[in-house]
Chain A
Amino acid sequence: MDIARRVIAPAPAAAGAPRLTVVTPQRGRGAMPTSEELNDLVRAVATNGDRQAFAVLFKHFAPRVVTYLVRGGTPAASAEELAQEAMVVLWRKAASFDPARAGVSTWVFTIARNLRIDRHRRGGDADLAGDSAEAELDSHADPAASPDEELDARQREQRVRAAVRKLSPEQARVLHLSYFAESPHAEIARELCIPLGTVKSRIRLAMINLRRLIDATEP
């Protein structure tokens, strides 16, 4: 709540003004901003170039993006650099973010993922990274979205989140490693103590179950 109020208050500085003071959010340690608060923060960045709002987004996402990248095998130094790049893309593309299409966390996830893909493809050339991350975001603003895709993103994200929480601990682990691990199959085999050859069917089972849970919570 604190964040939302603070963000909605008129932002004093224009986008270009160099103002690096960061106000620590007035909330309990470990408290997570809600998806509405995150939407408000992105809107404040888009409309006012609000650096305080950006700082809150940065503090929330950049450390998690670094974790995502490092777990996936990106060396720590490049991971931090790439996370900064992801936040720069967020700043630059804030105006094209459409909360009806995806939640902020999902959006940041796709930015980070696409930056990593670019980085791999281009052999680590930092100057060229970001192209497909930007293309991905352009697609957010696609006016020709079908009615299917207009499905309220908030509902979708809540359904998905609830479904992920309802997975058994083992299937949740399979899902987590599938997205985060450097070598998902090897790590799933090791953690679950199962032969490598059976990992694929475990992933498939987890996905069938996740789909069942997502569809079961359909409003």
Chain B
Amino acid sequence: MIRHHPDDALLMALAADRLARGPAVVTAAHVERCAHCRARLGELDAVGGALLEDAEPAVLAPEALARTLARIDSSGPIDGRGDGQADRSAADAAPVRSRDAASPRVPALSRAEMRFLASLPAGMAWPRSLRSSTPTPWRWLGPGMRWSRVTLADDRAANVFLLRIAAGKSLPAHTHDGIELTQVLHGSFHDGRERFDVGDFDEADGSVHHQPIVEPGGECICLASVEGRVAFDGRIAQMLGSLVGM
């Protein structure tokens, strides 16, 4: 049961293409496994459709239609009539969001990626929004704490990472200047305000000062995107923070 969802302003930003790539993949990771938010996002896409209908039409070059028809004629057979190439490249792309879980075409994984995926707990779903992203191997962050930096193919500077925290352990208390988005991929944590289970989403801005503690039942893996600097309390925590590159 998912209880924590992105708010409408954040989903609208996804629908309107206003999110940087980091926040977009974390939000998309939530939407892809939350039917409630897929329906809401569908409504916000429909807002885009309504605004498009109302838009003042631009004046096109007189030959625009003829050129488009010429492109259609030169672009090969229509989808569903044996043009497999288009489908394959679609699977390689990291779409804003995609629900084609059933698609049998998965891009070839490197050995390092396979090793990483094998290191995940059994039953943990790897977000499709990370399909073309590359996680580093797990790195030590502290006792019971590991992390992996996730490099997005289309925005290498995006600050996206995975945190893997053992049962009962906590992350150092911290605040941040920018927005921190978190999607729980496995296990659950409690941040002193509320409990977050697998599938739950959290958005925290600079006004939130929190110290997530992983619930005793088992380890927790979260996908997070941070904009702005993260400030940890205490010297050791600050050192850890600088290791993470936060």
A interface, CB within 8 angstroms of B: 15-16, 18, 20, 22, 32, 49, 51, 54-55, 58-59, 61-68, 70-71, 79-80, 83-85, 87-88, 91-96, 101-110, 112-114, 116-118, 121-122, 131-132, 134-136, 138-139, 142-146, 148-149, 151, 156-157, 159-161, 164, 175-176, 178-180, 184, 200, 203-204, 207-208, 210-211, 214
B48, B61, B72: the one contacting A110 at CB < 8 Å is: B48
A103: which B residues are within 8 A, CB to CB? 46, 49
CA distance A104 to B13 in the complex (A): 21
Query: How far, in whole Å, are A70 and B78 apart by their CA atoms in the complex?
Result: 29
Q: Using a CB-CB cutoff of 8 Å, which residues 118-141 of chain B contact chain A?
A: none
Q: Give the residues in chain A near B15, CB-CB below 8 Å.
A: 113, 179
Cβ–Cβ contact B96 & A139, under 8 A: no
Does B233 make an interface contact (CB < 8 A)? no
In the complex the two chains form, is B52's CB within 8 Å of A68's CB?
yes
Q: Given A87-B68, A91-B72, is A142 in contact with B61 using a C-beta cutoff of 8 Å?
A: no
Note all chain B residues with C-beta closer than 8 A to A122: 154
20-68 of chain B: CB within 8 A of chain A: 35-36, 38-39, 42-43, 45-53, 55-61, 64-68
List chain A residues, Cβ under 8 A from B45.
102, 106, 109-110
Tell whether, in the assembled complex, residue B98 and residue A22 are in contact, meaning their CB atoms are under 8 Å apart: no
**Contact residues of B with A, CB < 8 Å?**
7-9, 12-13, 15-18, 35-36, 38-39, 42-43, 45-53, 55-61, 64-69, 71-73, 75, 78-80, 86-87, 89-103, 154-155
Chain B residues with CB under 8 Å of A96's CB are 79-80
A97–B72 Cα distance when bound, in Å, is 18
Q: A62-B68, A88-B68 are in contact. Are A68 and B55 (CB under 8 A)?
A: yes
- Contact partners of B7 in chain A: CB under 8 A: 204, 207
Task: List, in ascending order, chain B residues with CB within 8 A of A203's CB.
Answer: 9, 12
| 28 contacts across the A-B interface (CB closer than 8 A) | A20-B69, A51-B69, A80-B61, A84-B64, A88-B71, A95-B79, A95-B80, A105-B50, A108-B49, A113-B15, A121-B155, A122-B154, A134-B87, A135-B93, A135-B98, A136-B96, A151-B39, A157-B50, A164-B51, A175-B51, A176-B51, A178-B18, A179-B16, A179-B47, A179-B48, A184-B18, A204-B7, A210-B8
Give Cα distance in the complex from A207 to B7, angstroms.
9
For the complex, what is the distance from the CA of A139 to the CA of B15, rounded to whole Å?
Answer: 15
How far apart sit A161 and B86, CA to CA, in the bound complex (Å)?
33
